[in-house]
Structure 1
Amino acid sequence: MTNEKVVLTREQDFWIRGMRRIKDDYAIIDEAQFGRASDEIIALSIPRLAKALYEGYEVERTQEERYEDVREAYRNAIALENYDERHAIELTLDLLGIKIEGVND
């Protein structure tokens, strides 16, 4: 397994947080393995669920949250008078998780 954290949907995060209030991680895996979990959790492979539970996970950001990140970055760049087209393009691509060779690699 790599060191990257598993990325889960908000629904998966909600289910896991709820289950952790009443069950330990082993019992959560058992619930998923035998089909007694939400459809979103059952869609995960057992190794991926185990990694998320034991190593931690990140919650997928919505399109709106990513858009707000870009807007906030522009506001900050303008406020710092550190705004030029190249910087704005690099910043936008980085915030959106897009890599383009020769631009922001």
Structure 2
Amino acid sequence: MSFTADGAFTFAGVDNEVLRPAEEGNGYSSGSGTWILAAPIVDRRGPLTQVDMTFRAMNGRREAYGNRLRSERGDGRLLLYYFIGDPDSGRMYVFRRGSMPSCPVDAT
């Protein structure tokens, strides 16, 4: 995934389990959309630690679909991640700047 300062993003080769797990099934997708920083749902006045994404195109089709990545700083680096299913399971996709996502990893 590539995010630009003007609020646009593009992606290629992202696992459908992150994008639309209930609809797309197995495989990988490419496309584009827009993003904004947002506060967590549980505390709308809190710090901007979520990345709200609106998909505008996916695999050559127009889209109007949204998803949310969480963010966290660790070791001086920004991580974006998405929980697969129940967050208590610890299964997540992790996106790091300049690398392919770790798909999936178990939180420890």
Name the structure with the higher strand share. 2
Q: Which TM bucket (shorter chain)?
A: under 0.3
Name the structure with the higher helix share. 1
Q: TM-score, normalised by structure 2?
A: 0.21
Query: Larger relative contact order (C-alpha < 8 A, sep ≥ 6)?
Result: 1
Q: Which structure has the larger Rg over C-alpha atoms?
A: 1
Q: TM-score, normalised by structure 1?
A: 0.21
